[in-house]
Chain A
Amino acid sequence: MDKMPKWADVILTPLISLILAMAISALVILAIGESPWEALTTMVDGALGSSYGWGFTLYYTTNFIFTGLAVMVAYHASLFNIGGEGQAAMGGLGVALVLLYLPLPHWALALPAAMVGAALFGAAWALIPAWLQAKRGSHIVITTIMFNFIAAAALNYVLVNLLRPVGSMDPASARFPPATHLPKLSEMAAGIGLDWGRNTPVNVTFFVAIAACLLVWLLIWRTRLGYEIRALGRSEPGALYAGINPVRIIVIAMLVSGGLAGLMAINNVMGESERLVLNAVEGAGFIGIAVALMGRNHPFGVFLAALLFGFLYQGGGELALWTSIPRELIVVIQALVILFTGALDNMVRMPLERIFLAMRKRGRA
């Protein structure tokens, strides 16, 4: 028998963790002599108060859905993939190569081609850590950290020495052909006569991200592979006994995870900057960790958590613009969310379990 009802496990504990993280963030804001209430209203206004704000919030949300799903899939196989940053960066390279060297006449063709490129490059970057974990027992956390740095160095080299157009000083690739321009949501809204979110970067990739949530849900809970991933994550000896090949599952789970992280590139590289720039990922790979933890490793939770972080990210930008609070406040909030929902989970859970046990006893008596 579980110690707590399911709703307490799924909703109450993350909510309390979130409240704790927010309370400490408010204390930090107080400590630097600003008003937490004013900060909150500025953020809500800036991120959700206008279609312009929403346009940016949803753009960031799209990024975080992909990286959050990536962390989540690996987590179900009990692998902690903190290489989302490097995998997403490599996905960007995949997108750039596809769009720069394949003559694609229309975005509807370019999008699937770029998705294949992004997913392949992201997955390839996760393959070596996965293989080393599965075959040689090298800890995947360490190898994926190392691969983040190797990816940054490799991308730096490629952009400076290979992809940079002749005569340009900027370490960035050439612009992608105009035919591959992804429609923005604002353009789609204008098409049906709505004035929504002009000059915002959110684009069709948002729908791809939602589709990815559904597909990942199907994969993890409705397919044989998903079952094997979860079985391995729960207990490796148990999985072995059930005839599951751990090497195969570890590699496949990491390939899916890397592919999802790589897919983020169709949003930021193809949809927004329309060329590959240095450090295009901007930490979204790491935010994926917070998103997956906050979302309790469920696609719907990931979607909600990504929305929350999209709001924080856009709101943080507005905060830096209108108040004297630097946007690094978001990094602190992100750290606190990871700390409370991830590392200090037991601190919230243990007293809750005790309360529920006491209530059950009283109910029986």
Chain B
Amino acid sequence: MDFATVIQILDSAVRLMTPLLLACLAGLYSERSGVFDIGLEGKMLMAAFTAASVAYATGSAWLGLIAGVAGSMALSLVHGLSSITFRGNQLISGVAINFLASGLTVLLGQKIFGLGGRTPSLTGAGRFPEIQLPFAAALRDVPVIGPIYAELISGHTILVYVAFLMVPLTWWVLFRTRFGLRLRAVGENPASVDTAGVSVTRLRYAAIAICGLLCGLAGAYLATGLSAGFVKEMTAGRGFIALAALIFAKWRPWSALGATFLFGLLEAIANRYPNLDLGIVTIPSMFMNALPYILTVIILAGFVGRAIPPRAGGEPYVKER
């Protein structure tokens, strides 16, 4: 394996980790506020569909992005309604949202485009272009640093950079602002936040809205950045891998970056080497694909560090009267 191959695999890992990272941070906001969200998959799928449809109809990836966020937010609202307002089971609501997205996207896609659930391929301004960072072309021939800068760091769509910027931003919001403090408190002990005169309901709705926004970005990236258009079930379990990454990262933003990079890298390697030959053993691609889930179960089991979720997670808050 030479240097150029390593760069290519890493580059592919960065592309593949972006939707995971955005969805993982989405889940982070929601779960830190005490609302479990296993509907990340559905929201991403819905966002991918609305983004691709609007981007195709208008020829603008930016309008597509707005539509993607709107599609994802609509499902977030359903989740908020059932798990915050009506104090229903958050897990069941998440399951319902996943199916709702999976069914509605095909139903509407077939009605609008008649392509069996696909949207037509996006071209030109319907997709986000790859951004060439300054001096990328000039530095390309410098050994080691050149390829790293020109191939790995430069040449991604804007959403990739947004995703990476979301990590420090999320850290700052959660750990350095009043809103973040309250958000974390409401996920650990909502009664104390309520006693302090802050609305639990409003905080949780805010968290869910941010979750919807980030899932929208993730879905829009899938449909208008990573590929060119929407395909039936295109999220392919990414929402669940993001959930796994969230646990792997123990609900912390910087660790989320590491976890999603690891899972993106595994996917990139599995894509490039369907049967990875390590000399002694040959690892089939199925194993690489299942590895994120296996690692998450090991982490959950608490054998390698313990993953403790926010204490009030999954519990609807009943205000004392």
Contact = CB atoms under 8 A, between A and B. Distances in A.
Interface of A: 28, 32-33, 80, 82, 128, 132, 136-139, 141-143, 145-147, 149-150, 152-154, 156-157, 160-161, 286, 289, 293, 324-326, 328-336, 338-339, 342-347, 350
Given A32-B108, A334-B99, A336-B100, A343 B301 contact: no
A153 B290 contact: yes
Nearest to B81: A344
A329 B103 contact: yes
A344 B95 contact: no
13 contacts: A138-B307, A146-B244, A150-B290, A153-B286, A324-B110, A326-B107, A332-B107, A333-B103, A335-B96, A338-B95, A339-B100, A343-B89, A343-B93
DSSP majority for the B interface? helix
Interface in B112-157: 116-117
Given A150-B294, A289-B92, 19 more contacts: A28-B107, A80-B92, A132-B301, A136-B302, A138-B300, A146-B293, A147-B293, A326-B116, A328-B106, A328-B107, A331-B99, A331-B106, A336-B96, A338-B92, A338-B99, A344-B81, A345-B86, A346-B88, A347-B88
A324 B110 CA distance: 9
A157 B283 CA distance: 11
Contacts of B309: 139
Interface centre among A132, A160, A350 (most CB of B within 10 A): A132
Contact of A343 (B88, B110, B116, B243): B88
B107 A32 contact: yes
A342 B88 contact: yes
Interface of B: 38, 78, 81-83, 86-93, 95-100, 102-104, 106-108, 110-111, 116-117, 237, 240, 243-244, 247, 284, 286-287, 289-290, 293-294, 296-297, 300-302, 307, 309
Contact of B297 (A132, A137, A324): A132
A319 to B, nearest CB: 11
**What 8 A-B pairs are tightest by C-beta distance, nearest first?**
A331-B103, A335-B99, A343-B93, A153-B290, A332-B103, A342-B92, A343-B82, A335-B100
Contacts of A342: 88-89, 92-93, 95-96
B91 A80 contact: yes
Contacts of A332: 99-100, 103-104, 107
Contact of A145 (B96, B107, B240, B284): B240
A286 B99 contact: yes
Contact of B117 (A137, A326, A345): A326
B231 to A, nearest CB: 14
Given A153-B289, A346-B87, A339 B103 contact: no
Contacts of B97: 335, 339
Given A28-B104, A145-B240, A336-B100, A343 B83 contact: yes
